[in-house]
Each structure stands twice: as structure tokens, then as C-alpha cells.
Amino acid sequence: MDFSIANISKNEIFLGHDWLKYHNPKIDWKQSTLEFSRCPGACHRGSMVNSPEEEIDIPYNWDEMEEGDHLLVVQIGQEELPLRAYQSKVGQLAEQMYKPQLSQDFNAKLPAYCRPYHKVFEKKTFDQLPLRVTLGPCNWANPRI
């Protein structure tokens, strides 16, 4: 899941309704879990693990393995990675906002329900990352946060 860094006023996260409708995740608010068990078939295409065509026998003395030892397995060669892209309505609106258009007022282009978040869609705000704050035991008293 990709998240973009942006100043969205007083809110911690802005998740598009179209995204929620499309993926239909199972959300357990009490347990704070998110499960993608009801996604459309296009989300899972190519994500199933295939069994290898032939099993490779690597000579190794398994008796030397001790509890806590780690085994690193690396696949050498090309692996096909499926490309799955989906753009939410918020993403489409943001893309339209940044296209140069002549003689159109910014607020006229922004839907009414997005107007409280107008600074998020402005290029000036979008091109700046938030101030870097180093987290530590005393940051609760830091006025920059």
C-alpha cells in the first residue's frame, strides 16, 4: 500500500472512498487490523506462489543447523512482476489540479467536499516535505510537533 506525504490539515490520513469501494477491505477497528480478503480478482492476479518445475537438491549437512540459525534463500534470474495500478478519485482530482489550465479559479475546480483540504492540493504545499523531526523521549515537549 502506498502512502504519500502531504500536509492534510488536522487529519492523520486521507483515504479515498473510491479506493475503499474498489478493494473492499475487511477492517477490524477494535483490533486495528486491515485484511484484503475481498479484493477484486485483478488484485490477486499473478500473486499466487507457484511450485518449482523441478526440485533442486542442494547438498548440505542439516545436522550442523542449530536453533536460531537462519537460512537465506535467493532466487537468481528474472521474475515476472505483475503491474497493478488503480487511481482513486482523489488522485484523479489532484492530477487535474496540477495541469496548467488558463482562466479557471482554483476553488471552482475543487469539489465542495475537498475545500477544507485545499492546501493539500496546492502546488506550493505539495512540493514541500514536512519538517524532519527526530523522535526521542522528550519530543512530547517539542513545540514543533
The reported pLDDT for the residue numbered 77 is 67
* DSSP state, residue 105: -
Under 8 Å between Cβ of 98 and 104:
no
Which residue, 111, 48, 53, 102, is CA-closest to 80? Answer: 48
Among 100, 82, 12, which Cα is nearest to 44's?
A: 82
Q: Which residues contact 123 (CB under 8 A, 6 or more apart)?
A: 98
- The confidence score (pLDDT) of residue 136 equals 56
Average pLDDT value for residue range 16-22:
75
Asked if residues 45 and 84 have their Cβ atoms less than 8 Å apart, the reply is yes
pTM for this entry: 0.26
Instruction: Kindly state the average pLDDT of the residues 26-54.
Output: 71
pLDDT at 144 over 70: no
Query: Which is more confidently placed, 19 or 127?
Result: 19
Q: Where are the domains of the chain?
A: 16-43
The predicted pLDDT at position 141 comes to: 52
